[in-house]
Structure 1
Amino acid sequence: MKSRGSKDITKDPSNTAFTNGTDGGNKIELKRRITLFNGVAIIVGSIVGSGIFVSPKGVLNGAGTVGLSLIIWAACGLLSLIGALCYAELGTTITSSGGDYAYIMEAFGPFLAFLQLWVNLIIIRPSAQAIVALTFAFYALQPVFATCEPPDLAVKLLAAVCICILTFVNIYSVRAATRIQDIFTTAKILALIIIIITGLVMIGKGEIEHFENAFEDPVNELSVGSVSISLYSGLFAYAGWNFLNFVTEEMKDPFKNLPRAIYISVPLVTLVYVMANVAYFSLVSPREMMESNAVAVTFGDKVFGVMAWIIPVFVALSTFGGVNGMLFTSGRLFYVGAREGHLPDFFAMIQRKRFTPMPAILFTGVISLLYLISNDIYALINYMSFVQWLSVGMSILGMMILRHTRPNIPRPIKLNPLIPWTFLAACVFLLIVPLYAAPRDTGIGVAIICSGIPVYIIGVMWKKKPKSITNFVTKLTILGQKMCDVVPQEIEKPTAL
């Protein structure tokens, strides 16, 4: 992390690393290569992971009935759309990449922004990437191990291969990474369309038994707490609607394409999710869904016969694209954090020929691989749900504060105040419920946030570090520059503030 007593490797002419920042006349910066279609693919590809194939069980478990579960799927989509509209205003007002981190930085200052970055750095991003990679590996191997579950070692090895391949692709080329996202997003939407069409055909043949008396015969006792849990399960499946805001600096014409991508993506996913659940219920009874670990696989077994293996393959394709989207955005988050002085300077550098944030992407890939060693990483997601909604809520609150403290900032999009306040009320609800329903998990999440306080004091606030430390860090940074052929970004960080 930056220190007043250390050399500024971006400006020191005596630095033996690359400092002129030019390569054939091209500025060393993140290039604007993300089109509207790429943006839609990033949002849709980040949202549609394993959730829609697996989590309908969790929604039904809390909702109790078929009818209420479908309403909750639609409500979660509507809430996600409202949140995404708020992020359209944020992303066109604060044009820096980094998403929540950048917005909290502008509204609340570096301390709270660092804590948000810290939990993403050590828990949220690498553990989520590892879990989705494990899900990919499990379903990719399932057709091979048709009569039993795949061996744990084989799953972990394939997950590691998945992370390594996608880390390399993201380092090698922005265009290659977005192309992978485009292809796999298209594949997963086609997979869901196949499920939807199959379900509609079944309904057309008279398979409507599970829709008759859709609000009767609940599988569980209905309560406010159970509906809250159902909402959490549904919102988990919609997670990722704000991921495009992490790469704003690389979008072509972000003032138009960012909001357009949001307007297209979230309603599209909502429609697909609701219709996919309608398709599931055409053949899978509520009781069968409650007993299934992957409702899409159960649906496939009922309708596709010898071709049932196609559903696990679709899930694998879906999660592979999900890992790619998370690696792509995680690298940008850590890159922006380093550029702000909250992470070592090395992570704020760009590969001279590829124009990718190579050190930041490499770091998130390596940490994700380390998480594969653990057998308890799934528990970490429970601890972080509270933290993620706290981060989103603070971003929206910061947007409203900035409207009052800096009213003259250019705002290409300015929503009616009722929209962000409605979303904030939902965030407060989603933050209060875990305090009652899962106080232990919430407490652990808060403790993980607080663990970043001493790191901030030592790494960021402590400016006058001993020269021996600063010289050692500088030498490591220069060595890293030479090995990776990376240099600092030439232009100043963009911001509308």
Structure 2
Amino acid sequence: MDDSNVAIADPQNTTVDSDNIGSDISSEPPPYSPSREDQGTDSDARPSGDAIRLQQQLGLYNGISLIVGCIIGSGIFLSPKSVLENAGSVGMSMVVWVVSGVFSLIGALCFAELGTTILASGGEYSYILYAFGSLPAFIVLWVTVLIINPTGQTIVAMTFAYYVIQPFYPHPDCPPPDIFIRLLTILCLALLTFVNCWSVPWATKVQDVFTIAKVLALLVIIVSGLVYICMGHTENFQEPFKNSKGGSDIALAFYGGLFAYAAWNYLNYLTEEIKNPYRNLPWAIGVSLPLVTIIYVLANIAYFAVLTPEELENSNAVAVTFGEKLFGPMAWIMPVSVAMSTFGGVNGGCLSLSRLFFVGAREGQLPSVMSMIQVKRKTPLPSLIFTCFLSIMYVFVEKIETLLNYFSFMTWLAIGAAVAGQLYLRWAKPDLPRPIKLNIMLPIIFVGACLFLVVMGTIAAPMDTLIGVLITLTGFPVYFIGVWWKKKPKCLVQFSHTVTVFLQKVFIIVPQEKED
């Protein structure tokens, strides 16, 4: 694909020619352009000289809030169990949490270099597209759009729903009705999609509020645990490395730890909407990852101070068990904290992941309507609605976690490929402007670690990986029919255009414009 489709170190040149977005043949009619009456009469609908495009509205604090809020979801409240089971000891568990944080920081720094070199939203999709071309980028987009993103959103939303309802069903023999959980999951997804469709500032405010709430909840856990230690309860830290495991078990422990740190790359999905991305993108990453690592390590120290290894391994929700043992009548604080944390995580996913669909459509690899923007609200309304629709579809899948397991290898393969693209560009295009240039060993170490995770995950779950590979391969015929094949029948092109124009009129959406 032509390199000009992705902007390089120029924040004002991140938009492709909107007249060609998604066009299969040159004779396709131009996109519908709403009239002044369609746009409404409000004075703020279209200020003079204000192009219809995603606005640069995210400052440094918003970037930090987004990364911290997306990382701290359900993982820190649920993953300590799986990490301990596979690490085998308290000491080795703490090593896993620290190393996972350092590994995530290295990856985030690599993405900081990529994000300030290739100033395009879309994260690893845009980086792979620029470095390796259209087909590899589409395969990543295909799997991410269909499986990884919507299933991840649904799982986090279902966790929110469970912990909202759980206090009303305190008896373990009487779990919350499944239908209640699924309905509340749909409500959560729909509500946050509406907020993101209505206003980006609203969405960032929601993110800021719930990020503060979840950090405060973890501070309650940390302070309580440290007080417990100061009272002399250090018995769980005796012989910290006794019964430690190695080999594939440690690899699985790292999978659990890295799951809790997942989403450190989400700000890169919104690069074009960051104010002064050269400064704010790297600073947001540089502040967020060390902060989250410190919070995670201290939270685990608190867990191990209060709970024995056996109690922790037998718990399905470590934070809830922690609260029941330490807070007594106030134990309800913990399920409420998990619910707030996951609610903020879903909002962050809506805000960032929808931009992947938007960019994919802008590059002509998804229907062109997905790259359009609501005229008044300046939000990518079609991609947000599509994200919500797919996530709601997965609410009715019985074993949704299994679907996500199929593609754990693909997640690390895609992120590793993006950083491999960073290494390739260092060699192929050494003169590219790079406001940030890391020591070459950092991306090399990160790519090697990603390959290790892919290989060890394949060894640990070969059948899941095989199923994931087979589903991924379905992207190849879709690519050749939908993207590579340009001379489609005119009836098909006309039908696509008619549907696009209808949706434009319903939602008052148009292709993104360039700045004046």
With the shorter chain as reference, the TM-score category is over 0.9
**1:142 equivalent in structure 2:** 166
**1:479 equivalent in structure 2:** 502
- 8 Å CA contact 1:60–1:290 kept in 2: the answer is yes
- Choose the corresponding residue for 1:9, options 18, 30, 39: 30
> Does residue 94 of structure 1 match 2:118?
yes
> Does residue 161 of structure 1 match 2:184?
no
- 8 Å CA contact 1:6–1:471 kept in 2: the answer is no
Q: Secondary structure at the match of 1:143?
A: helix
- Any idea what the Cα deviations from partners look like across 1:184-227, whole Å, max 9, x if unmatched? 011000000000000000000011110011112x3xx7231111
Q: How big is the alpha-carbon RMSD for the aligned residues of Structure 1 and Structure 2?
A: 1.6
**1:315 equivalent in structure 2:** 338
Distance of 1:16 and 1:187 partners within structure 2: 43
How far did 1:9 drift?
2.7
Distance of 1:466 and 1:424 partners within structure 2: 43
How far did 1:8 drift?
4.9
Distance of 2:292 and 2:451 partners within structure 1: 24
How far did 1:2 drift?
3.3
- 8 Å CA contact 1:5–1:467 kept in 2: the answer is no
- Any idea what the Cα deviations from partners look like across 1:288-308, whole Å, max 9, x if unmatched? 111110111110000110110
> Does residue 490 of structure 1 match 2:516?
no
> Does residue 282 of structure 1 match 2:305?
yes
Give the stretch that moved more between structures: 21-30 or 102-111: 21-30
- The 5-angstrom pairing of residues 220-259 of structure 1 reads 222-259=245-282
Percentage of matched positions with identical amino acids:
51
Please tell me the residue identity of whatever aligns with 1:3: D
Q: Secondary structure at the match of 2:439?
A: coil
Gaps in structure 1 of 5+ consecutive residues? 493-497
Distance of 1:420 and 1:65 partners within structure 2: 31
Q: TM-score, normalised by structure 2?
A: 0.92
**2:230 equivalent in structure 1:** 204
- The 5-angstrom pairing of residues 47-446 of structure 1 reads 47-147=71-171, 148-216=174-242, 218=243, 222-446=245-469
Distance of 1:383 and 1:139 partners within structure 2: 26
Please tell me the residue identity of whatever aligns with 1:417: I
Displacement over 6 Å in runs of 4+:
19-22
Please tell me the residue identity of whatever aligns with 2:300: N
Q: Secondary structure at the match of 2:430?
A: coil
Distance of 1:408 and 1:103 partners within structure 2: 17
- Any idea what the Cα deviations from partners look like across 1:115-134, whole Å, max 9, x if unmatched? 10001111011111111000
Distance of 1:333 and 1:308 partners within structure 2: 39
- 8 Å CA contact 1:45–1:184 kept in 2: the answer is yes
- 8 Å CA contact 1:43–1:243 kept in 2: the answer is yes
Q: TM-score, normalised by structure 1?
A: 0.96
Distance of 2:111 and 2:95 partners within structure 1: 24
- 8 Å CA contact 2:252–2:457 kept in 1: the answer is no
Gaps in structure 2 of 5+ consecutive residues? 1-21, 40-44
- Choose the corresponding residue for 1:32, options 56, 62, 66: 56
Distance of 1:309 and 1:76 partners within structure 2: 30
- Any idea what the Cα deviations from partners look like across 1:433-464, whole Å, max 9, x if unmatched? 02211111111111121111111111111111
- Any idea what the Cα deviations from partners look like across 1:19-72, whole Å, max 9, x if unmatched? 999923221010000010100011011100000001100100111000110111
Distance of 1:5 and 1:149 partners within structure 2: 58
**1:495 equivalent in structure 2:** none
Q: Secondary structure at the match of 1:142?
A: helix
Distance of 1:394 and 1:27 partners within structure 2: 34
Distance of 1:307 and 1:6 partners within structure 2: 67
Distance of 1:476 and 1:270 partners within structure 2: 47
